[in-house]
Amino acid sequence: MKIVGWNITQAFAKKYPQVRPRLENWRKHVQDASWKETMDVIKTFNTASYVPVKRAWIFNIGSDRLITVIDLTLKTVLIKQIMTHSEYMRWSNAK
pLDDT in tens, 77-87: 999 999 999 99
pLDDT for the residue numbered 95:
54
Determine the average pLDDT of the residues in 25-33.
97
Q: What is the enclosing helix (H) or strand (E) of 4?
A: strand 2-4
* CATH fold of 2-93: YaeB-like fold (3.30.2310)
**pLDDT, tens digit (0-9, with 9 covering 90-100), for 31-75:** 999 999 999 999 999 999 998 988 899 999 999 999 999 999 999
Alpha carbon distances (Å) from 95 to 51, 53, 64, 84, 91: 13, 9, 21, 19, 9
pLDDT at 76 over 90: yes
pLDDT score recorded for residue 70: 97
Q: Order of strands, edge to edge, in the sheet holding 64-71?
A: 2-4, 76-83, 64-71, 56-61, 49-51
